[in-house]
Amino acid sequence: MVSSRSDIASEVGSEIMAQGGNAIDAAVATGFALAVTYPSAGNLGGGGFMVIKLADGEVLALDYREKAPADAHRDMFLDSEGNVDRRLALSSHQSAGVPGSVAGMLEALSRYGTMSPAQVVAPAIRLAEDGFILNEDLAGQLRGNFNSFRNYPASLSAFANDGVPYASGDLWRQPDLAKTLKAIAEHGRDGFYKGPVADLIVSDMRANDGLITHADLENYEAVWRSPVHGTYRGYDIWSMPAPSSGGILLVQMLNMLEPYAIGELGWGSRETLHLMIEAQRRAYADRAEYLGDPDFVEVPAATLMSKDYAERRFASFDPVHASNSEDMGAGAWPEESPQTTHYSVMDAMGNAVSVTTTLNRSYGNKIVVPGAGFLLNNEMDDFSSKPDTPNSYGLIGRVANEIQPGKRMLSSMTPTIVTRDGTPVLLTGSPGGSTIINTVLQVVMNVVDHKMPVERAVSSPRIHHQWLPDVVRYETGAMSEAVEAELQAMGHKGLNGSPFPIGDANSIGYGNGLLEGVSDPRNEGGVAGF
């Protein structure tokens, strides 16, 4: 079973398993296909995280997050008055971190796959070279970004039809991207990080004040890390460690909620929503203070994920009053993109792969590398460019996530696998920038606390709080009018605002010998299995 944002990419992964490949082969093939069929977030020029549970029980976490180039420095996005220059941080060549996706996917394939790079990249090459018919979802995205693409000749060439927007029903071919994919298929990681493709990247950087060099590309390595592990009501939670904040915050919030009978309190009740908001508030405050790249700063992950810490952190919880975020600092002891994408894969042997990947903003910085056909990311904005200054998602960061050469920027991506007695029961994750972690939290709670089937667990309306700004965001139907009024009376803010779409959790559930694949109904997507 494969569930992703693209029905075509899901079919690619399913076909790879039908040909004898395992879930890792399928996940890598799906990832390369998404770079062709869902380019706003599927990518070669971005990065991501992968959580793998092997059939023998071993669980692994692969970090292929982008890195700051060697010439990056702490104040690189500050103007002459010391303020963050948003254009530079989001829409310039300097906004691009060193890409990690190709290295990460090929590292997973080499270590745990059964197929060659040529085999798993072949479907993506075919889709790029021969083209595919655009549906209204993708055609609408390309049309909506047309004015941005017009600023860059290579972007306009790749994403427009002879200078005019594509329409639904058009055949879309990407010959430059096909050439890059062929280089990867033939030469592996050297086909991207060295040779002609690397030359194209560096040439474009030199011509536009970018920072990425040949040395940056050649020195990039994906990193295997120990996965985050927590427990919740008899289930094991496996997720991504730092430099993702996702797994740590997910476990921390579940620990805060575990002492309360959430299932008995009920989905959408005032009591349940109040508990969730207060747990989210405290966890996101800790994110701002303590989390960053563990290769550069000491991340107190074990403490943040301990049940003792959760008890102390939640000791100030008031069952009848909202906390004030302005008065709440990070805990003590004795800022991502709506256009990220997540996909889940599980094979017949029990191998499970949960993957979240991104360019940061939709279509990254909108810049296609001339001659190479793929987009650059703008992940450098995920660093804290200035302490206590929100990034483009409103997330606050401090010294732990400041820009340093070679450092990986903090992320909210939360690819997660939930197991019971060693067997995967849920694979989930989401795009959504700062809302990612809370999306995953609610899918897990819906399955574990509210005993929902996975389809309902994914489709149920969601809420979001991230400490600052001190507002509750929500989807239509997340609470009744009566509950909304009660929460307002308790002091919760923002509840009279506009409904806010939250997440895109393409998930897989397993139980009673059956796989249940769910493409989040909030967006187009597809599930494929056999």
- List, by residue number, the catalytic residues: 340
Q: Which residue has the tokens 């590398």?
A: 369
Q: What angle do CA 347, 349, 354 make, to 5 degrees?
A: 40
Q: How far apart are the first and last CA of the chain?
A: 7
Collapse the DSSP code of 224 into the 3-class scheme (helix H, G, I; strand E, B; otherwise coil) and give the result: strand
Collapse the DSSP code of 458 into the 3-class scheme (helix H, G, I; strand E, B; otherwise coil) and give the result: helix
Chain-centroid distance, C-alpha 354:
11
Q: Whose CA is closest to 428, among 308, 321, 517?
A: 517
Q: How far apart (Å, rounded) are the C-alpha atoms in residues 384 and 297?
A: 14
Q: How far apart (Å, rounded) are the C-alpha atoms in residues 114 and 416?
A: 23
Going by the DSSP 8-state scheme, the letter that residue 274 receives in this structure is: H
Query: Peptide bond preceding 469: is omega within 30 degrees of 0, i.e. cis?
Result: yes
127's tokens = 């889709």
Q: Whose CA is closest to 120, among 23, 9, 25?
A: 25
Helices (H) and strands (E) in the chain, counts: 20, 17
Q: Which residue has the tokens 């008899």?
A: 234
Going by the DSSP 8-state scheme, the letter that residue 434 receives in this structure is: G
Q: What angle do CA 172, 21, 49 make, to 5 degrees?
A: 70
Q: How far apart (Å, rounded) are the C-alpha atoms in residues 92 and 328?
A: 36
| E strand intervals along 104-187 | 132-133, 171-172
Q: How far apart (Å, rounded) are the C-alpha atoms in residues 175 and 259?
A: 56
Q: Whose CA is closest to 433, among 382, 371, 385, 500?
A: 382
One-letter amino acid identity for 424? Answer: P
Q: How far apart (Å, rounded) are the C-alpha atoms in residues 230 and 285?
A: 20
What is the C-alpha radius of gyration for the chain, rounded to an integer number of angstroms? 22
Q: What angle do CA 183, 187, 193 make, to 5 degrees?
A: 75
- Distance of CA 100 to CAs 239, 412, 494, Å? 19, 16, 37
- Signed CA dihedral, 153, 215, 337, 39: sign only: positive
Torsion (CA) 311, 317, 319, 320 in degrees, nearest 10: 180
Q: How far apart (Å, rounded) are the C-alpha atoms in residues 445 and 7?
A: 27
**Quick check: 467 and 328 in contact, CB under 8 A?**
yes
Q: How far apart (Å, rounded) are the C-alpha atoms in residues 177 and 39?
A: 11
